[in-house]
Amino acid sequence: MPKGRRGHRGSHTYPGFRSKKQWRWAFATHQKFAHRWAHETPGGKKVRYRRLPTRVGRPTARTLRSKKGR
């Protein structure tokens, strides 16, 4: 099996959003997949968004600059 493929997964191809930042970006920029990814995000109807971390990864140079000015 090629390294990038992990077998047949059916229609479920993405595990959902990883952060609130990703969720907000997808809906704000009108991405076609936003609703599908939102439904695939674990946690249940009422708590999906709430349980996500604010962001995943280190702060970028842009966010560091904006915090220095405060």
Asked if the structure places residue 5 within a domain, the reply is no
**pLDDT at res. 23:** 92
pLDDT over 70 at 21, yes or no: yes
Asked if the structure places residue 48 within a domain, the reply is yes
Please count the structural domains in the chain.
1
Backbone phi and psi for residue 21, each to the nearest 5 degrees, phi listed first: -60, -45
Query: Which residue in this structure is represented by tokens 């709430």?
Result: 50
Asked if the structure places residue 69 within a domain, the reply is no
**pLDDT at res. 61:** 78
Asked if the structure places residue 25 within a domain, the reply is yes
What's the domain range around 43? 14-57
Q: What is the distance of C-alpha 65 from the center of its chain? A: 23
- Kindly report the pTM of this predicted structure: 0.61
Asked if the structure places residue 1 within a domain, the reply is no
Asked if the structure places residue 65 within a domain, the reply is no
